[in-house]
Structure 1
Amino acid sequence: MTPGARISAAIEVLDRVLAGQPAEQALLRWSRASRFAGSGDRAAVRDLVFDALRCRNSHAALGGALTGRGLMIGGLRAAGRDPAALFTGQGHAPEPLAEGEGAGPAHGVSDIPDWLGPLWNGSLGEDAGAVAAAMRRRAPVWLRVNTRKATPAKALRALADDGIAATPDPRLETALRVTENERRLAQGRAYRDGLVELQDLSPQLACAALPVAPGMRVLDYCAGGGGKTLALAARAADLTLVAHDADPARMRDLPQRAARAGVQVRLDADPAGRFDLVIVDAPCSGSGTWRRTPDSKWRLTEAALRDLVALQAGILRKAARHVPPGGLMAYMTCSVLDPENDGQAAAFLRDHPGFSQVSRRLWTPLDAGDGFFMSLLARR
C-alpha cells in the first residue's frame, strides 16, 4: 500500500469508530476485507488510527472536522506535514483538499473529554495537564524478566538474539523497556521460552512492592490474564497461587502462560477459605491505559463510571471475606481517577473498621508506565 492508500484506510476505520464501533473491531473488519494489505500495512494503519484517537479533539480542530478525513488532515498538520502531498486523489489516496479545508487552530483544545475535565484535574492536581499531554503519545512496551528462568542479563542477550533491543529500568532491574523491534517479540525465543512476559512498568512496580514470602497463600481475585499472579510467582518459591475471575473466560490463556513461565497456578471459579494476600485488580475505567486503548477514553460516560465505582465496591466487600486477621488485601486499578482510587479505598475503610491502609501509591506516565493505583490494606 502507498502512504496515501494507508491514509484512506485509516479514514475508513476512523469513520467506523466515530460511528460507535470499537477500534479493535473496526480494524479487524478492515483487515479481513483487505487481503491485499501486508503485515506492515496493517501495522501502519493501526498506528494512524490510534494516533488519531489519542489526539481526537486537537486533530479534529486542525483538520476542520470530527471525521476520519478531518482527523487524518489534522494529524498530518500536527506533525508538520502538508496534507496536500498525500491527499492527491491518485490511485487509492484520499481526494484532494478543498480550498480552505481543515484550517482550524488547535490551541487550547483538550484531548480529555469535556465532561471528565474537572474530575481529571481534581484527581491529578498540578500534574493534570502533563499527564493529559503524555496520554497523547504512544505508550512504550515493557517486559518483565521471569527470574524463574533467566537473569536480566540472560534475558537481554536472548532478546538481542531475536533482534529486539531493550534496556532495564534503574528502579527495577527485572523491568525492561523495549527500544527497537517490539513487533518481533511474539515470534522470538525470549518470549516463547518464558524468559520474559509482557507487563507494563507500573504494575511491575506494584507487584514488587507487595510483601510476599515463601509458603504464603495468595488469591488473585480479579485475575484476568494472570499477569500479576505470574509476577508474584517469580518472586518467591512455594507460594500457593489461586487465580479467580468472575468471567472465567478471561483466564483461558493463564494455564498456557503459567506453563511457559514454569510456575503452577490453580484456577478456581469459587475460591474458599482465607489467604495471606488477596489481590483485587478491579475492573475500572482504564483511564491510566488510554495511550494503549484511546477509543475507550471517548466511550467512557458519567453513568458508566458510576456503575464501575459501584462494581468495585461490591468486589472489595466480597474479596475482604478471604482476608484473615493479620492478612493483606491489595486494591489495584489501572485508573488515575480519584473515585476509583483513593475515594474507593476511603469508602471501604469507613465501612470496614477492622481494616487499615498500610500504603498507597499512584503511578502515572510521568514517573512510570501506565497510570496505576494501589492501596495496600491490612486486617487488624
Structure 2
Amino acid sequence: MAMPSPTLFQAYVRQALSWLEAYTGDMPLHRYLKNAFRQQPKLGARDRRYISALIYDYFRMGHTLRNRSRLDKMLIGYFLCEQGPMPLIRAWQPEWLSTLPEGALPPPFQRTAWFPDFRIEELFRWSEHVTKGLSLQAFAERFLSQPHVFIRIRPGHASRVQALREGVAMLDAHTWALPAGVELEEQVSGEEGKDYVVQDYASQGVMRWLVEQLPSASVKHWTVWDCCAGSGGKSIFLADNLLLSRLMVTDIRPTILANLRRRFRQAGISAYVAAAVDVTREQELARIMGKQTYDLIVADVPCSGSGTWARTPEQLHFFAVERLNDFQALQKRLVTQAIRYLKPGGYLAYITCSVFRAENEEVADAVSREGLQCIGQRLITGYTVGGDSMYIALFRAG
C-alpha cells in the first residue's frame, strides 16, 4: 500500500484537531470516534487509524506539556507513543526524527528526554490520593503505550491453544499477553470462550489471589453471588477453580447480562441464576434475593476505573478528583446491602479497578467497621506487563 502524501497527513492532523476541539468527555472516546467516523464514510481504515492515534496520543499526555498548543501536544504525543516508521512526523516535524539513534525506536519514556517540558509527574496529577504500593513512575509510564490484551487458558484446554504469530507473550502456563489491535483468531488457536477467555492480567491476579486465600477451596462446594458481575469474567474464573453448588450473578445493566449469558454458554456454564438489579436498593434487592445467603460474595464495584485509564486515556484529561466522594458513597451503600446476604463465616471479596485510596483502603476500613474481619488486601499492578491495575480486600463474617 502506498504511503499517504504529506497533504493527506495534513488532512489527518486537521481532522484530529477539529474533533479534539469538539469532544467534551461526556461519552467514552471510542464511542465518540465511532460516531464521528460514521459521519465521514469516505475515511478508510488507514485514515481512521491515523486520526484515532493522534487523538488518543494527545490524551495520553495527561496534564503535562500544559503550555503547548493543542497541535504541539498532539504531535508530541504521537511521536512518543507510536512505534515503527513515522511518516506523519516526517511530514510535520522531521527534525524530531533526526534526534533518534539508528535502528529501532527507543521505548516511549526514553523519547520524552527530547522535550524538556515533559514532566512524567504531571501526566497523572493525583499522586497524593493513590493506594499504598503503587509506583507512580511506572504507573504513569504505562499511559504512553496501548495496553495488551490478555487471555486466560481454561483448565484442561492448554493443548488446544497455540501461538500463531510473533508478539504473543506467555507470562505463565495460563496467562498470555497479546498485542492490541489484532484479531484474536489471528494470534492464537483454539475457541474463545471455550478454550480461553479474554481477561486482563490484573483481573486474573485478583481472582487467583482470592482463591488462594479461601479455605479448602478445592473440596468445598461454594454458594457464590457475583453482585456486580459485568460480562462474567470473574464468575467464569470461579467456576473454573472452585466447586460451585449455587451461582447467582447480578448487574444493574440488562445489556451486559446478555453478554454474560453468551459468555457462559461458550464456557459451558448453565447452572446459574442471573438478574438485573440495583444492589443499593434494599427492597428491590430483597425481591430478587429472597432469604438465600452465600459463602462468597464478589463485589467488583463501580469506581473511577483509574487502574484502567491507559485504555481510556481521555479520563486523564477530564476526571475531577471530587468525583471520588460520590464513588466512595456508592461503594459503601452497595457493600452495606450486599453483606446482608453473607452467611456467618462467609467471605466478601471487595474489588475495584481503581488506584485511589478513597475507593480502596478507605472503603475497606469502612467494611471492617461493619463488623467483618479483613483477611488481607492486595494491589495487583499490571503496569509491569502492559496491563491494568486492580485492588482486592477479602473479609470474613463473624
Q: So what's the TM-score if we normalise by structure 2?
A: 0.78
Aligned to 1:222, the other structure's residue is in SS state coil
Residue of structure 2 in register with 1:184 after alignment: 183
Q: Which amino acid aligns with 2:275?
A: D
1:198/1:42 CA distance change after superposition, 3 Å: farther
Kindly tell me the number of residue pairs found equivalent between the two proteins: 348
1:303/1:36 CA distance change after superposition, 3 Å: same
Does 2:248 match 1:242?
Answer: yes
Aligned to 1:260, the other structure's residue is in SS state helix
Q: What CA distance in whole angstroms lies between the structure 2 residues aligned with 1:347 and 1:327?
A: 18
| Cα RMSD after superposing both structures | 3.0
Percentage identity across paired residues of the two chains: 24
Does 2:74 match 1:72?
Answer: yes
Residue of structure 2 in register with 1:218 after alignment: 224
Runs of 5+ unmatched residues, structure 1: 89-102
Does 2:27 match 1:17?
Answer: no
Q: Which amino acid aligns with 1:268?
A: A
Residue of structure 2 in register with 1:200 after alignment: 200
Residue of structure 1 in register with 2:397 after alignment: 379
Residue of structure 2 in register with 1:106 after alignment: 117
Deviates more, 1:19-28 or 1:224-233: 19-28
Alpha-carbon contact 1:218-1:278 (below 8 Å) kept: yes
Structure 1 residue 185: deviation in Å?
A: 1.4
Alpha-carbon contact 1:190-1:196 (below 8 Å) kept: yes
Q: What CA distance in whole angstroms lies between the structure 2 residues aligned with 1:282 and 1:189?
A: 33
Deviations 1:201-250 (A, max 9, x none): 11101112223445211110011111111111222344422111123333
1:323-334 map, 5 Å: 323-334=342-353
Q: What CA distance in whole angstroms lies between the structure 1 residues aligned with 2:80 and 2:298?
A: 42
1:303/1:176 CA distance change after superposition, 3 Å: same
Alpha-carbon contact 2:379-2:389 (below 8 Å) kept: yes
1:202-351 map, 5 Å: 202-209=202-209, 210=211, 211=214, 212-213=217-218, 215-264=221-270, 265-269=272-276, 270-272=288-290, 273-350=292-369
Q: Which amino acid aligns with 1:266?
A: V
Deviates more, 1:266-275 or 1:330-339: 266-275
Residue of structure 2 in register with 1:147 after alignment: 155
Q: What CA distance in whole angstroms lies between the structure 1 residues aligned with 2:208 and 2:120?
A: 38
Structure 1 residue 54: deviation in Å?
A: 1.4
Deviates more, 1:104-113 or 1:45-54: 104-113
Does 2:193 match 1:175?
Answer: no
Q: Which amino acid aligns with 2:117?
A: A
Alpha-carbon contact 2:296-2:346 (below 8 Å) kept: yes
Alpha-carbon contact 2:143-2:310 (below 8 Å) kept: yes
1:220/1:266 CA distance change after superposition, 3 Å: same
Aligned to 1:223, the other structure's residue is in SS state coil
Runs of 5+ unmatched residues, structure 2: 94-113, 277-287
Structure 1 residue 375: deviation in Å?
A: 0.3
